[in-house]
Chains A and B, each alone.
Chain A
Amino acid sequence: MSRTVLKTQQHQQLKQEDHSSLKGTLVFVMFVGAFIFVSWFAVFYLFLIRT
């Protein structure tokens, strides 16, 4: 029991510094966003030159 409580506390400490600890996630999702952005405009360009 006490060990699990300790674990939960550690867990919470980590949560408190969460602004720095999700940097990898931000980089990753922004990469996803950039990919979507570029592919969308690539096909839009294709549409324009085929008109």
Chain B
Amino acid sequence: MLQSNLAYKLPLTEEPAHVASKDAKLSFVHVVVAFFAFLIGILGGLLQGLARGGIIELPAWLGYYQILTAHGVLLALVFTTYLIFGFFFAGMSRTHGAFSDRLRKMGWAGFIITTIGTLMAASMIIANEASVLYTFYAPLQAHYIFYSGLALFVVGTWVAGAAIMAHYFQWKKEHPGEPTPLFGFMATATLILWVVAGLGVAATVLGQMLPWALGMTDEINVLLSRTLFWYFGHPLVYFWIMPAYMVWYLVIPKVIGGRLFSGSLARLAFILFLLFSIPVGFHHQLMEAGITEFWKYIQTVLTFVVVVPSLLTAFSIFATFEQTGREQGGKGLFSWIKKLPWGDVRFFAPFMGMLVFIPAGAGGLINASFQLNAVVHNTLWVVGHFHLTVGTTVILTFFGMAFWLIPVITGRRLTKSMNRSGMVTTWLWTIGMFLMSGAMHILGLFGAPRRTAYTTYQDHPQAMSWFEGIFASHITVAIGGVILTAAGILMFYNFIYLAWFAPKGETEFPMTPDPDDTPHTPALLENWKLWIGIAVVLILFAYTIPIYDMIVNAPPGSPAFNNLIR
């Protein structure tokens, strides 16, 4: 296709778009909460690594599973969610104009509700009343305040999400017939996914766990609660990944001095995520009784479909790199690579995240592979896997983002020395994760379990070998953990400096110019009613019969077990 006569729609120069100062403040409070949660979360991770490796012994007042719960909740739920909303509020203000006072108030309301929920859940974890890990599987039972906190957390994000979506649809209404800005399109797809997925966790927390923890019901349907959790739990990982992809699609092209390769393909990828990342939760339950092979296989197939948008993304991102490198004079098969800004942390940190996504994606396919899951299910392999996906790909992308997002919303500048500090952070994180996650993957293939405190199983030779490998050892995991902690503390310092001490100045919110194919965006892609409708149909198809079966043929329920977690 010849790209002729398109220039009229493309922004010729970068308009001086910025984040309105009131929106910047809303974005900033999210970022602040995120990084404080991050600091506590990684210190928890350090203690776990050392305790599990048998290097230190935890004091009697601090439980291994208590720290593990805090680590998971603070990093996987709190840090990610707050940073994502901080990014969305700033990005929407930058690309769609300032929020109206009404919508901004709604954003603040969401922030406050989410934060109250976070504090409630955190206080119960600190009090050792909720050491149920971040998956809180019944019939282990936490304090009802923990479940109430989780419910408020989710509802708060819905309120904040509604403000962002309303801002997007307002723009759409005011610009009939025009393709919507990519940032709003992608944020909206991510938030619709989050809301639809959140219905599952809301259903199990409000409908099952809270009444049960309050003593209003005596028993709980364990399989149903697990199923509702994973109905939410898998799209949750896409809720982390999609904002990272937004940085790759929208920010990185600008940082490297180019333009996104194709807008329509980017939109298509996000629509595919919306459609196929929810009806796949059974791939977390492949090894359990009470779900037939047939429905497990159906959801395995749907899981494989959701790989396709990542295949699209891999091509689009590298095509953007190559196109930009060549425009800047790079020649030959690979020498354009030299034209990329390797010394710029805003590019380099997300780039390392992209590289890590290759083994992460390969591992994910293996996890979801039906009976193959027996090799890795609930072993350290799985922990290694998601420390690559969310713990490296997403986090390094967010680190890279922090180096421009924080100065943008605080009216400061990214200094040269801060950039260097970010580069060191990125290298340390990558090296630490190579050791930790690499060892975890191999230990997992040998059968070492996840979520298990220090143990040698009465000195069984097989369990002893998990401490004795040259690379594949809990000791390597601990060493990796120490390096990661160093990187994390450095990143926290970077955050503090950028937020309060960097020199005042103007910083650019990098945003790709509209891709060449923008005027040809198929209107179909913007038909949200259609996509939500198809998503609902797919969910009903994948879940109705198995869930009906779980309810109608349910065994007698389980009573509460709240004494086992203290």
Q: Do A and B touch directly, given a CB cutoff of 8 Å in the complex?
A: yes
Chain A interface residues toward B at CB < 8 A: 1, 4-5, 8, 10-12, 14-16, 18, 21-25, 27-29, 32, 35-36, 39-40, 43-44, 46-47, 50
Interface flag for B372 (CB, 8 Å):
yes
Q: How far is the CB of A31 from chain B (nearest CB, A)?
A: 9
Interface flag for B170 (CB, 8 Å):
no
A40 and B362 contacting across the interface, CB-CB below 8 Å? yes
A21-B326, A25-B322, A43-B366 provided; 8 other pairs, C-beta below 8 A? A1-B12, A14-B323, A22-B322, A29-B315, A32-B314, A40-B362, A40-B366, A40-B369
A5 and B372 contacting across the interface, CB-CB below 8 Å? no
B365 and A40 contacting across the interface, CB-CB below 8 Å? yes
Residues of B within 8 A of A27 (CB): 333-334
Residues of A within 8 A of B319 (CB): 22, 25
B7 and A5 contacting across the interface, CB-CB below 8 Å? yes
Q: How far is the CB of A48 from chain B (nearest CB, A)?
A: 10
Q: Mark B127-143, 1 if CB is under 8 A from A, else 0.
A: 00000000000000000
Q: Mark B366-390, 1 if CB is under 8 A from A, else 0.
A: 1001011011100000000000000
> Contacts A14-B326, A14-B327, A25-B322 given: A43-B375 contact, CB under 8 Å?
yes
Q: How far is the CB of A2 from chain B (nearest CB, A)?
A: 10
Q: How far is the CB of B313 from chain A (nearest CB, A)?
A: 10
Question: Binding site of A, secondary structure by majority: helix, strand, loop or mixed?
Answer: helix
Q: How far is the CB of B440 from chain A (nearest CB, A)?
A: 15
Q: How far is the CB of B361 from chain A (nearest CB, A)?
A: 7
Residue of A nearest to B330 (CB): A24
Among A10, A18, A39, A43, find the residue whose CB has the most chain B CB atoms closer than 10 A: A43
Q: Mark B309-339, 1 if CB is under 8 A from A, else 0.
A: 0010011001101110011000001101100
The docked-state distance in angstroms from the alpha carbon of A32 to that of B372 is 21
Q: Mark B327-365, 1 if CB is under 8 A from A, else 0.
A: 100000110110000000000000000000011011101
B3 and A36 contacting across the interface, CB-CB below 8 Å? no
For the complex of A and B, list the 6 residue pairs with the smallest distance between their C-beta atoms, beginning with the closest: A25-B318, A36-B362, A4-B12, A39-B362, A25-B319, A8-B7
Residues of B within 8 A of A22 (CB): 319, 322-323
The docked-state distance in angstroms from the alpha carbon of A39 to that of B334 is 25
Chain B interface residues toward A at CB < 8 A: 2-4, 7, 10, 12-13, 259, 311, 314-315, 318-319, 321-323, 326-327, 333-334, 336-337, 358-359, 361-363, 365-366, 369, 371-372, 374-376, 445, 516
Q: How far is the CB of B466 from chain A (nearest CB, A)?
A: 17
> Contacts A43-B375, A47-B372 given: A16-B2 contact, CB under 8 Å?
yes
Among A27, A36, A44, A46, find the residue whose CB has the most chain B CB atoms closer than 10 A: A36
B337 and A24 contacting across the interface, CB-CB below 8 Å? yes
Residues of A within 8 A of B363 (CB): 39
B375 and A29 contacting across the interface, CB-CB below 8 Å? no
A39 and B333 contacting across the interface, CB-CB below 8 Å? no
Residues of A within 8 A of B321 (CB): 25
Q: How far is the CB of B325 from chain A (nearest CB, A)?
A: 8
B333 and A23 contacting across the interface, CB-CB below 8 Å? yes
Selected from B333, B372, B374, B445, the residue in CB contact (under 8 A) with A24 is B333
**Can you identify 22 A-B contacts, CB atoms within 8 angstroms?**
A1-B12, A5-B12, A8-B12, A11-B327, A11-B516, A12-B3, A12-B4, A14-B327, A21-B323, A22-B319, A22-B322, A24-B322, A24-B336, A28-B318, A32-B314, A35-B359, A35-B362, A39-B359, A40-B366, A43-B366, A44-B372, A50-B375
Residues of B within 8 A of A10 (CB): 327
Q: How far is the CB of B111 from chain A (nearest CB, A)?
A: 39
The docked-state distance in angstroms from the alpha carbon of A50 to that of B379 is 16
Q: How far is the CB of B300 from chain A (nearest CB, A)?
A: 13
> Contacts A4-B12, A4-B13, A36-B362 given: A47-B4 contact, CB under 8 Å?
no
Residue of A nearest to B445 (CB): A46
The docked-state distance in angstroms from the alpha carbon of A24 to that of B372 is 33
Residues of A within 8 A of B7 (CB): 5, 8
Q: How far is the CB of A3 from chain B (nearest CB, A)?
A: 10
The docked-state distance in angstroms from the alpha carbon of A32 to that of B12 is 35
> Contacts A43-B375, A47-B374 given: A29-B314 contact, CB under 8 Å?
yes
Residue of A nearest to B4 (CB): A12
Residue of B nearest to A38 (CB): B362
Residues of A within 8 A of B374 (CB): 47
The docked-state distance in angstroms from the alpha carbon of A1 to that of B8 is 12
The docked-state distance in angstroms from the alpha carbon of A35 to that of B361 is 10
The docked-state distance in angstroms from the alpha carbon of A43 to that of B373 is 10
B362 and A24 contacting across the interface, CB-CB below 8 Å? no
Q: How far is the CB of A26 from chain B (nearest CB, A)?
A: 9
Q: How far is the CB of B229 from chain A (nearest CB, A)?
A: 26
Residues of B within 8 A of A44 (CB): 369, 372
Q: How far is the CB of B109 from chain A (nearest CB, A)?
A: 43
The docked-state distance in angstroms from the alpha carbon of A44 to that of B398 is 34
Selected from A8, A15, A47, the residue in CB contact (under 8 A) with B10 is A8
The docked-state distance in angstroms from the alpha carbon of A43 to that of B318 is 28
Residues of A within 8 A of B10 (CB): 8
A24 and B334 contacting across the interface, CB-CB below 8 Å? yes
Residues of B within 8 A of A1 (CB): 12
Residues of A within 8 A of B13 (CB): 4
